[in-house]
Amino acid sequence: MDLNTLWFLLLGTLLAGYAVLDGFDLGVGILHPLAQNDHDRRVFFNSIGPIWDGNEVWLVTFGGALFAAFPEAYATVFSGFYIPFMLLLCALIFRAVSIEFRSKTRSRAWRAAWDYTFFLSSLTATLLFGVAVGNSILGVPLNERGVFTGTFIGLLRPYPLFLGFFTVAMFAMHGSLYLNLKIPHGELHNRMKDWIWHTWGTFLVLYILATIYTLVTIRHAIPNFENAPWSVLIVLANILAIANIPRATYRNRPGQAFLSSCVSIIALVALFGIALWPNLVTASNHPENSLNIYRAASSEKTLRIMMTIACIGIPLVLTYTSIVYWTFRRRVVIEKNSY
């Protein structure tokens, strides 16, 4: 396996890490309107309070790693998707600020305004991620230099939009399973348990539709799956994980249900990677303009240096992340340092 492949895998890992971790954060935001009074809303905020910031770092590091390992892809995607990225930045800024500042004063109007902001920004960010994935799978027009030659409206095609809604459903389900682990026992917790059935049901319907839609429209990805027969195992893991969510919830094993949701998200990111391979940005107009893992890459020396940095950094990152998740493992208790 060469360094370019290794970096493709590493970026996939960062993306999967981000989707699993910030996925439930964003899901909590999408489900936020379900909380009916101030105490419940604070429980929602504090369920992700100590960890959302660290989760978002996975996205920042994904961006940095893409820049360092595949600068051509970074430049093409970020400049080509100018308006979507500006909207994403807007959503992420408002989201961060709404979490941080919402409970800083007692004013009801202040809190209500930040509650809406939190919901809308979480929804927008999630939708945009899904649309981005859809566009990556379909490909976008690129010129010989690898510069995006399409338009913003051209990105809003039915398939990417559909994947946007699918991602919203997926993160909403993921968020509800997370909340099921974090909400203290009581009325809100019972309500959330009921909600899992709705979020899971919606996700399942959209999952089936997305699978059919993909198989029908994305013909160019099929050879990749034929060349990698082991990818059947990923599909199988995905289906089993999705099926295990209602089973585990029914048997009152919230941890297992949440882990199943994590597995299913990781499997979906893996399938996305296989569909994309070996391209980072597929040129829909001239396939020979596609930015694959060799054309878009930094020099071999840089890839090796970055790999050293990653090998030193990743164990450290996993250590801090475990410490933080362990410290805040219990269900939410609202106290004086809470949001």
Partner 1 sequence: MNFDIVLLSRLQFALTIMFHYLFPPLTIGMGVVLVYLEAMYLWTKEPIYENAARFWTQIYAATFAMGVATGIVMEFQFGTNWATYSRFVGDVFGSALAAEGIFAFFLESGFLSLLVFGWDRIGPKFHFFATLMVSLGSIFSSVWIVVANSWQQTPAGHHIVQMVRDGKPWFIDGQPVMRAEIVDFWKLVFNPSSAERLVHTLIGAFLMGAFFIMSISAYYLLKRRHEDFARRSFTGALLFATVFSLAQLASGHSNARMVANYQPAKLAAFEGHFKTGPADLNLFGLPNVETQTVDHQIALPGMLSFLVHDDLKAPVLGLDKIQRDYWPPIRAAFTTYHLMVGIGMYFIGLTLFASFLRVRGILFKQRALLAVFVGSVAFAVLANELGWASAEIGRQPWVVHPGVLRDGLGNILFDSAGYVQYRMDEGLLTSRAISESINSGQVLSSIFMFGLIYSLLFAVWVFVLNHKIHVGPEPAHFPSETTTENLLTALTGRSGHDETKEKL
- Position among 33, 149, 161, 239 found at the interface with partner 1 (CB under 8 A): 149
328 backbone dihedrals φ, ψ, rounded to 5°: -105, 35
**What region, left, alpha or beta, does residue 36 occupy, with left being phi > 0 and alpha being psi -120 to 50 degrees?**
alpha
Binding of partner 1 at residue 307 (CB under 8 A)?
Answer: no
- Position among 194, 219, 230, 336 found at the interface with partner 1 (CB under 8 A): 336
For the chain, percent helix, then strand, then coil, each to nearest 5?
Answer: 80, 5, 20
Looking from the CA of 129 toward its CB, the CA atoms found within 13 Å total 24
The whole-angstrom separation of Cα 18 and Cα 59 is: 6
The whole-angstrom separation of Cα 212 and Cα 214 is: 5
8-state DSSP, 332 = P
The amino acid present at 39, given as its one-letter code, is H
Question: Residue 67 or 225: which CB sits closer to partner 1?
Answer: 67
Taking the complex as a whole, the smallest distance from the CB of residue 291 to partner 1 amounts, in Å, to 10
Question: Residue 173 or 297: which CB sits closer to partner 1?
Answer: 297
Site string for partner 1, 17-46 (x = CB under 8 A): ----------------------x-------
The whole-angstrom separation of Cα 58 and Cα 92 is: 13
The whole-angstrom separation of Cα 182 and Cα 265 is: 20
Site for partner 1 in 223-262 (CB under 8 A): none
SS3 sequence of 275-317: HHCCEEECECCCHHHCEECCCCCCCHHHHHHHHHHHHHHHHHH
Residue 279 bridge partners (DSSP)? 292
Taking the complex as a whole, the smallest distance from the CB of residue 318 to partner 1 amounts, in Å, to 9
Question: Residue 20 or 242: which CB sits closer to partner 1?
Answer: 20
Question: Residue 110 or 225: which CB sits closer to partner 1?
Answer: 110
Taking the complex as a whole, the smallest distance from the CB of residue 130 to partner 1 amounts, in Å, to 18
Binding of partner 1 at residue 94 (CB under 8 A)?
Answer: yes
- Position among 24, 45, 118, 148 found at the interface with partner 1 (CB under 8 A): 148
Site for partner 1 in 64-93 (CB under 8 A): 64-65, 67-69, 71-72, 74-80, 82-83, 85-86, 89-90, 92-93
Residue 292 bridge partners (DSSP)? 279
Question: Residue 103 or 264: which CB sits closer to partner 1?
Answer: 103
Binding of partner 1 at residue 321 (CB under 8 A)?
Answer: yes
The whole-angstrom separation of Cα 230 and Cα 214 is: 19
300 backbone dihedrals φ, ψ, rounded to 5°: -60, -40
* Residue 43, both tokens: 């429980």
Binding of partner 1 at residue 120 (CB under 8 A)?
Answer: no
Stretch that binds partner 1, among 171-179, 203-211, 230-238, 317-325 (CB under 8 A): 317-325
- Position among 22, 25, 56, 115 found at the interface with partner 1 (CB under 8 A): 56
Stretch that binds partner 1, among 211-219, 234-242, 268-276, 291-299 (CB under 8 A): 291-299
Question: Residue 69 or 275: which CB sits closer to partner 1?
Answer: 69
- Position among 2, 5, 9, 104 found at the interface with partner 1 (CB under 8 A): 104
Give the binding-site size for partner 1 (rule: CB under 8 A): 77
Taking the complex as a whole, the smallest distance from the CB of residue 179 to partner 1 amounts, in Å, to 15
Taking the complex as a whole, the smallest distance from the CB of residue 287 to partner 1 amounts, in Å, to 13
Q: Are 339 and 99 in contact (CB under 8 A)?
A: yes
Binding of partner 1 at residue 284 (CB under 8 A)?
Answer: no
Q: Are 184 and 43 in contact (CB under 8 A)?
A: yes
CA-based torsion, 244, 31, 234, 310: positive or negative: negative
Site for partner 1 in 178-197 (CB under 8 A): 184-185
Which single residue is written with the structure tokens 């970074």? 74
